[in-house]
Amino acid sequence: MPISGQLSFLIPQPEINYRLSTPHGYVIPRKDGLVLGGNAIRNNWNTTPDPKQTEVALAAVNEVILQMRG
């Protein structure tokens, strides 16, 4: 079964020195940028990037960060 996934990269942010994982996305800090990912679309052979998948990962991570702030 094909499973497609997508990674997105944000500019480096040295102040973020932790990984964050949610059911709908994750962030992994690296020296060259922040990696967003976490989607796995079953039965999909398409390798074309989908901006909606980036939005899903950003929204998931943003929601957790807002909850952490209180």
pLDDT tens digits, 43-58: 989 888 888 888 888 8
* CA nearest neighbour of 3 among 40, 34, 37: 40
- Whole-prediction pTM: 0.74
Domain holding 18, by residue range, is 3-69
| pLDDT of amino acid 32 | 95
| pLDDT of amino acid 11 | 94
SS3 content of the chain, % helix, strand, coil (to 5): 25, 30, 45
Give the residue ranges of the chain where pLDDT is below 50. Answer: none
| pLDDT of amino acid 68 | 83
b/e code 9-25 from CB counts within 10 Å (16+ = b): eeeeeeeeeeebeeeeb
